[in-house]
């Protein structure tokens, strides 16, 4: 494969990727192997994602895989005895929004303690990297900012069970606005979102003290070929595909008008690689998404059409911890990283569905 990096821009050196055998880690493994001299991946191959417990075939063969737990100090004593990272990409995290409400200790341990153990290990071994790239989440915003009838921004906070039971999905007399790190105040409404915001704060406080560059990327709803088909807590697009594959009508929560920013894995991978290799970066968080919103209903209709399945139907159900609307203003990433999303929702759904159809043993949901 021809390297996408001209010799003058190829950073070289060593990149260390936590959680690098997962969905995003596998997607970035090949471009990282082209950009760096050495790629080291630390991942515990958790069975919720890796059913077989074996190295994923999608992980580039040039990446060195160390199976270990990022939240254990011994992991970093082992890894850093042999590895001197120039850049660290921190992907390792528990990601289920709904699951985090039931397993808050697990999510906090992996996401927050896993981050602090990594940083303590780097400091303990005197191996401070030049840059750390953190994969954060739009979940840090919670419901985000809304605009009232007079154009004033306000933060409505978390929707309650009472209003949701009454099917009051939106906030009366108000309209949502795009999430933008430089303007939107973070106010998470899930344990997962709270732990991702804690990750950001821990990393930035530490990095500023030691002169380490940070790139914090708040990702919207990532989907596409390669995502887990066995994890019940993530991947609504793959779940919809498997429902439609079986000829089912896709159920839509709330009123089907929930807005989301579905961003294809290819675009996310290019953003993370840009964050790791760009000559200059800023320390403030940046948002990564498709640059536009779609409703859950629109995505479900496209998937149903692909499979010739019945039209989706609205159930009126809801899930605690879900926000009503979420999409990103990606202008900062464009300006700082020179990154632009390339793929439309229609193209992405075709790619995802075709990939799922080609997987052996996939069963309809």
Q: Which residues are identified as catalytic?
A: 192
Identify the three-state secondary structure at position 63: strand
**Residue 101: burial class (beta carbons within 10 Å; 0-12, 13-18, 19+):** middle
Determine the Cα–Cα distance for residues 260 and 295; give it in Å rounded to an integer. Answer: 6
Please count the other Cβ atoms lying within 10 Å of the Cβ belonging to residue 210. 11
Quick check: 212 and 130 in contact, CB under 8 A?
yes
What are the backbone angles phi and psi of residue 128, rounded to the nearest 5°?
-70, 125
How far apart CA 192 and CA 100 sit, in angstroms, is 5
d(CA 178, CA 193): 17
Tell me which residue of 61, 10, 15 sits closest to 42, measured CA to CA: 15
Q: Which pair of tokens denotes residue 103?
A: 């397993």
Structure tokens at 344: 């439309």
| d(C-alpha 317, C-alpha 145), whole Å | 24
Q: Which helix (H) or strand (E) holds 295?
A: strand 294-295
Give Cβ neighbours of residue 166 (< 8 Å, ≥ 6 apart): none
């Amino acid at each position: 494969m021809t390297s996408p990096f001209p010799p003058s821009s190829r950073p070289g050196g060593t990149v260390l990727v936590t959680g690098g055998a997962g969905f995003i880690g596998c997607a970035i493994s090949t471009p990282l192997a082209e950009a760096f001299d050495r790629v080291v991946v630390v991942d515990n191959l958790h069975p919720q994602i890796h059913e077989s417990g074996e190295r994923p075939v999608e992980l580039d063969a040039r990446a060195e895989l160390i199976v270990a737990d990022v939240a254990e100090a011994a992991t970093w004593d082992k890894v850093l005895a042999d590895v001197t990272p120039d850049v660290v990409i921190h992907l390792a995290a528990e990601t289920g929004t709904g699951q985090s409400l039931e397993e808050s200790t697990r999510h906090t341990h992996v996401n927050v303690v896993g981050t602090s153990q990594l940083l303590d290990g780097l400091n303990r071994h005197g191996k401070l990297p030049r840059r750390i790239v953190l994969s954060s989440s739009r979940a840090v915003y919670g419901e985000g900012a809304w605009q009232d009838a007079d154009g004033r921004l306000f933060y409505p906070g978390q929707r309650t069970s009472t209003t949701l039971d009454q099917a009051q999905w939106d906030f009366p007399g108000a309209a949502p606005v795009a999430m933008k790190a430089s303007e939107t105040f973070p106010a998470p409404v899930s344990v997962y979102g709270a732990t991702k915001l804690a990750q950001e704060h821990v990393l930035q406080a530490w990095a500023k003290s030691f002169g380490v560059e940070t790139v914090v990327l708040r990702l919207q709803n990532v989907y596409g070929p390669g995502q887990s088909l066995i994890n019940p807590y993530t991947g609504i697009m793959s779940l919809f595909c498997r429902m439609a594959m079986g000829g089912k009508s896709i159920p839509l929560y709330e009123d089907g008008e929930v807005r989301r920013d579905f961003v294809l894995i290819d675009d996310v991978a290019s953003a993370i690689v840009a964050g790791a290799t760009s000559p200059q970066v800023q320390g403030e968080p940046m948002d990564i998404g498709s640059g536009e919103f779609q409703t859950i209903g629109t995505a479900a209709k496209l998937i149903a059409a692909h499979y010739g399945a019945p039209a989706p139907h609205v159930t009126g159900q809801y899930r605690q911890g879900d926000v009503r609307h979420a999409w990103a203003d990606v202008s900062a990433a464009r300006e700082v990283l020179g990154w632009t999303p390339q793929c439309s929702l229609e193209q992405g759904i075709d790619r995802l569905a075709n990939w799922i159809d080609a997987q052996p043993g996939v069963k309809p949901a």
